[in-house]
Each structure stands twice: as C-alpha cells, then as structure tokens.
Amino acid sequence: MRPIITCKQTGFTLVELLVVMLILVALASVTLDFTKDFAFQGRYEVTKDRYEKIRRAIIGRPDVLINGQPDISGFVADMGRLPDNIRELLQSGYCVTSGGSAPTNLIAMYRPSTCTGDWKWSTSKCTDNTKTTEITCTGGHRWLGRKINLGLNYGWNGPYASVTKDPNTNNALVDGWGTESDELNYGWNFSNLTSPDTGLRLNSFGKDGVSGSGASTYDIDYPSTNASEINANLWTVNITGIQVNSLASGVSSSTACSGIPFNSNHITCEMTGGHWEGSCAPTVAYTTRFQCEVANGETWTPTSSCTTPTIPVTKYGCENLGGSWTSDTTNVCLKVYYKSINTASGELIVATPLVSTGKTIREDGLMHLINFDGFFIDNNNDGIKNGSDADLSIVPTGQVRISLHNYNTGSSECTATKYNSGTNVLTTIFNSSLLPVINW
C-alpha cells in the first residue's frame, strides 16, 4: 500500500491542503463579487442623488415645507419655462446675432433654442461681464439676472445646482457612472417632450450607457421611462376655477331701496333727511319739531306727511329703516399676471396677463366667493379678446399677480379699473395642491 504524503510543517495531508486552497479561492471570488456589487451600488446611489439634484433645480420641492410653506424654487419658478439643457441650470447666457458688432448686436433672446446667432454663456448678470446691477448694465448690454416688474420677481437667479467643475466641460455634472456626452447635458438623457414648454425627459442610461435594460441590473435606466418625465402636471398649474372672496360694496342706486315707512313716524322721516310736517303752538313761526319742542319747549303737533326724504343707497341703511333692498349688480373679471415667454423674441416677460370672462356680483355689502374661468391670453393687454388672443389657463408654478377689475359687458372688456379700488394680490401657485382663494 502506498504511503500518505504529509506536510511536515503543517501536519496537513496534501489532499487537505488542496481543499483549503479551493476554499480560499472560492472566498476570494465571493469577496471580489461583493466588492464589485458594492461599488456598483455606490455609483447607482450617486446617480439617484444627482438626478434628484437636477430635478430639484428645475422644479423645486413643492412637497417639502419650509417654515410652513412649500419650497417653490428653481429654474421654472424664476424663468416661467423649462430649461433647454442642463447647463442652463449652471449658467445664464445671451444670444449674439450674426450681424453687427458687440455690444449693439445683443438681442433679447433668453433661451438657447431660439437663438438665431451665437449663444454665449456668462458668469455675470450683465453681458459686459463687469456690471453688478441692472441700472448700471447700460451701453447696449443686457441684464441677465433677476428683475422686478408689476410686483413680480423674475429672471435667472442661479446657479440652481452646485458643481465643482467648469460648466464648459463634458463631465461637470455627470451621473454616477461617469457617462459623458457634451458640455450641455453632461451625459444625461435630456430631451424635450413635444415642445420645450410641454415637458422633458431626464434620466441616466445606467452602467452600460445604453437606453433600456442590459445584462446587469445596474444597466437599467434610472429612472425608468415613465418616471423620468417632468410633464406639464409637475411644472404648470391650470387656474380654471380659481376663486376670489370679495366684499361687495353694498352701494347701489336709490331705486334699490323701497318700502320705507316715511310717513308712519317723524323719526324715520328725519333719519333719512326728510322733513316731518306739523305746526307749533303758540309760536307758529317754528316750522320744525326740533325748533318747536327741543329748542323752545313749545308744543309740536305733527301731521302724517314727510317731505324730501333721502333714500338710502346701502343695504344696511335701507333695511335699518324697515325698507326692502333689491341690490344692483356689477360685472367683474380677473387678470392674472405671470412669467411667460415672448414668442417673437424669446424674452421673459410678465406684462401679458391671462384674462377671465365676466362674472356678476350683487352689491349687497356681503362677502361673495366667485369662481373664474374662460381665461385667454391678452397679448396686447387691452382687456378684450382679439383674434390673436387664444384661450389659455395654464401658468408655470411660482409667484403670480392677481387683480379684480370691473367688466364692461357692452364691449366685452376687462377694464383697467380695479373693483372697489382694490390693490394687487401676490400669491404663489403650485401643482399637487388646491388653488388659493384670493381675498380681495
């Protein structure tokens, strides 16, 4: 019989040593796979984090409360539109036309996709790269930063995402897999849906950099196709049905009040400015009850007649004297000023309101809750729906200015005169919430 070979140093047989070596190799393989998966998971988490970072930079976090108020911030809240690329979250820019010489050839294009010449990125709020305020940004240069008009804050106020690399490099804000493409979208799948103002798709193609799923779990796109859409419901609000709570003036014409018993007693007569007929004795020269009884202590004998009464023009005054109030009515309309884009120049503007159809309010001195609808975009701000004024009730999330106006039914005009001389109301609207009730 052949002898068993042993290892003198360890005391292991050769067979046992081979088994130990196989176990160590298997453990090393498992450790390597675990380390690889751990690294992949880390890159996946980085991708998720940066996706949320970009998404938050675009539409803010309306589901998060800060001091009891939703976090309405980001590119859309300032610019009234979606960005054309991710780089717009890091830098503002301006368009230079193909003709003329700088700075006189700067035009009011606020988005790269509408630029007819060269688009230039800027790290300054003024196109001369030196001025720091709008009032000093003169001489043909254009202010790129925040503005205030009609009480609304608007304009680029970034950067909306923080990066440590130059935005002009391909990897300034890449996903966790380090996928690069260009200096506009940094490897992300960033594409417009239908048109720039409808929605966009934003996602990472995963570890393999190819759309769809692959050999590995980490090759799957993040997020999936449906979840990657920032659609209209996430960055715009339909204001149809917005409500205004208004106190009616309660002032009407004299014909609104009837049935006051002027001739039933002298108190009612005189409270309305009338004169109660009668005679004074012994001094007949005193022709009023006050002169006769109160001032001189004589005897006033009233008749049953009241002359020249003043008819109350308020519901309270009428009913307080026992009268019946039939209110007059007033027609009102709503104007909503918001951040929009001039379709001709691409410039961000706030001077073009959405205007509602007229609604009727009864002048009874009470609070009235009015629902407004039938909005159209009033391109020339004349209060009348003209041929080019299309129906529109969609506004971007963020701050809007709302005002209640008198409505002229004869000319179908939402006039410039504010109802009851009220003042503008600034409010913030956002998706996934009820429309605010405006107190006027």
Neighbouring-strand partners of residue 369:
245
Question: Among 258, 439, 250, 234, which residue's Cα sits nearest to residue 361?
Answer: 250
**Tokens of residue 154, six digits:** 């608007």
Say yes or no to pLDDT of 95 above 50: yes
Question: Among 159, 226, 199, 225, which residue's Cα sits nearest to residue 396?
Answer: 199
User: C-alpha distances in angstroms, 434 versus 38, 127, 336, 399?
Assistant: 44, 40, 17, 15
Tell me the whole-structure pTM to 2 decimals.
0.75
- Are 141 and 216 found together in one domain? yes
Q: Which range is most confident: 19-33, 74-88, 218-232, 265-279?
A: 74-88
- Are 278 and 160 found together in one domain? no
- Are 276 and 371 found together in one domain? no
Cβ proximity of 355 and 365 under 8 Å: no
- Are 96 and 219 found together in one domain? yes
Q: What's the CA angle centered on 86, arms 225 and 92, to 5 degrees?
A: 155
Instruction: Assign 4 a pLDDT band (cuts: 50, 70, 90).
Output: very low
The boundaries of the domain holding residue 163 are: 62-235
- Are 90 and 203 found together in one domain? yes
User: pLDDT exceeding 90 applies to what percent of the chain?
Assistant: 39
- Are 272 and 400 found together in one domain? no
Counted domains in the chain: 3
pLDDT score, position 274: 81
- Kindly state whether residue 319 falls inside one of the protein's structural domains: no
- Kindly state whether residue 256 falls inside one of the protein's structural domains: no
- Are 391 and 403 found together in one domain? yes
Alpha-helical regions (H) of 262-418: 266-271, 289, 315-320
User: C-alpha distances in angstroms, 363 versus 22, 326, 439?
Assistant: 94, 9, 17
- Are 190 and 296 found together in one domain? no
- Are 244 and 230 found together in one domain? no
The model's pLDDT over 31-87, given as tens digits with 9 standing for 90+, comes to 555 566 768 899 999 999 999 999 999 998 877 777 767 777 899 999 999 999 999
- Kindly state whether residue 167 falls inside one of the protein's structural domains: yes
- Are 70 and 141 found together in one domain? yes
User: C-alpha distances in angstroms, 69 versus 97, 244, 409, 430?
Assistant: 43, 21, 39, 11
- Kindly state whether residue 25 falls inside one of the protein's structural domains: no
User: C-alpha distances in angstroms, 408 versus 338, 358, 411?
Assistant: 23, 8, 6
> What distance in Å separates the CA atoms of residue 80 and residue 339, rounded to the nearest whole number?
5
- Are 72 and 220 found together in one domain? yes
- Kindly state whether residue 363 falls inside one of the protein's structural domains: yes
The model's pLDDT over 133-154, given as tens digits with 9 standing for 90+, comes to 888 988 778 888 888 888 888 9
Cβ proximity of 373 and 356 under 8 Å: yes
